[in-house]
């Protein structure tokens, strides 16, 4: 009887060891869907985009003299950074998550008249020396560099 229990115990230990030390299969990444290009909670993101645009628009209404130093500068750069960060992040993530429909959808969402206006205001602020791509974090910087590409710096308004 002892020998039988020993053999059963040895088989159980071997089986547990095999499970514990066996290599696991890597998880497959989620495949993009061929759906509408967005998820079920998209209404929340639409509202967030509108709020982000509104904050960026208000930042461009900050008086020119306040854009160079202090709280005014921090607010100006922070709001513009928030806008371009969200825009660039969504432009990268929607295609990853939803495939081609997501890429088409998010491109359309960030191509409104208000977005074109914010791009033009960004180009003007760059040309007048109120902002530089280096003022922004890595994600937002990609979008800002694309927007100001081809613009010439005409005045250095914030040069110290």
Average pLDDT rounded to a whole number, residues 52-67: 93
The CA distance from 157 to 25, in Å, is: 57
Q: Is 39 a residue whose pLDDT tops 90? A: no
Instruction: Give the residue among 126, 54, 49 at the shortest CA–CA distance from 89.
Output: 49
How much of the chain exceeds pLDDT 70, in percent?
Answer: 93
Tokens representing residue 49 in the block: 């985009």
Residue 22, pLDDT > 90, answer no
pTM: 0.77
- Measured CA to CA, the distance from residue 48 to residue 96 in angstroms comes to 20
End-to-end CA distance of the chain: 91
Task: Flag the least confident range among 7-11, 41-45, 70-74, 96-100.
Answer: 7-11
Residue 27 CB burial class (10 angstroms; 0-12, 13-18, ≥19): exposed
Per-residue confidence (pLDDT) for residue 16, from 0 to 100 = 80
pLDDT of amino acid 32: 57
What was the pLDDT predicted at 29?
Answer: 65
Query: How many residues does this entry show for the chain?
Result: 160
Q: Which residue has the higher pLDDT, 160 or 105?
A: 105
pLDDT in tens, 109-126: 999 999 999 999 999 999
| Residue pLDDT, tens place only, 72-115 | 999 999 999 999 999 999 999 999 989 899 999 999 999 999 99
**Residue spans per domain, the chain:** 42-148
Cα–Cα dist 46/43, whole Å: 5
Please report which confidence band the pLDDT of residue 7 belongs to, taking 50, 70 and 90 as the band edges. Answer: confident
């Amino acid at each position: 009887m002892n020998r039988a229990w020993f053999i059963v115990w040895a088989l159980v230990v071997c089986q547990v060891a095999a499970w514990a030390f066996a290599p696991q299969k890597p998880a497959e990444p989620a495949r993009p869907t061929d759906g509408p290009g967005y998820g079920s909670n998209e209404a929340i993101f639409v509202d967030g985009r509108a709020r982000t645009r509104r904050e960026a628009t208000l930042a461009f209404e900050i008086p020119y003299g306040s854009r160079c130093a202090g709280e005014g500068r921090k607010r100006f750069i922070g709001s513009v950074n928030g806008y371009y960060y969200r825009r660039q992040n969504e432009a990268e993530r929607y295609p990853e998550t939803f495939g081609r429909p997501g890429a088409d959808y998010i491109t359309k969402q960030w191509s409104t008249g208000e977005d074109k206006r914010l791009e033009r205001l960004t180009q003007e602020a760059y040309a007048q020396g109120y902002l530089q791509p280096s003022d922004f974090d890595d994600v937002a910087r990609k979008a800002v560099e694309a927007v100001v590409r081809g613009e010439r710096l005409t005045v250095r308004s914030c040069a110290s």
